[in-house]
Amino acid sequence: MKLRVSAVLFDLDGTLVDSAPDLAGAANEMRLNRGLPPLPLELLRVHAGSGARGMLAAALQVLPGQPGYVDLRDEFHDRYEQRLLRETRLFDAIGPLLDALGRHGLPWGIVTNKALRFAEPLAQALGLLPRAAALVGGDSTAHTKPHPAPLLEAARRLGLPPQACVYVGDDLRDMHASRAAAMGALAAAWGYLGVDPPIHEWGADVVLAEPNDLLRSLGLA
Q: Given the residues 11, 18, 22, 213, select the one marked as catalytic.
A: 11
Beta-bridge partner residues of 206:
186
Which residue ranges make up each domain of the chain? 7-18+89-217, 20-82
CA distance linking residue 182 with residue 163, whole number of Å: 6
pLDDT at 3: 75
Are 4 and 182 in contact by the 8 Å Cβ rule? The answer is no
Got the DSSP string for 150-166? HHHHHHHHHT--GGGEE
Write out residues in the chain with pLDDT < 50, as ranges.
none
11 carries an active-site annotation: yes
Q: Is 13 a catalytic residue?
A: yes
pLDDT digits (tens, 9 = 90+) for 66-122: 999 999 999 999 999 999 999 999 999 999 999 999 999 999 999 999 999 999 999
**Domain 7-18+89-217 in CATH 3.40.190.10:** no
pLDDT at 4: 82
Q: How far is CA 221 from CA 157, 165, 187, 201, in A?
A: 27, 19, 18, 26
Global confidence as pTM:
0.96
Q: Pick the catalytic residue: 13, 22, 171, 213?
A: 13
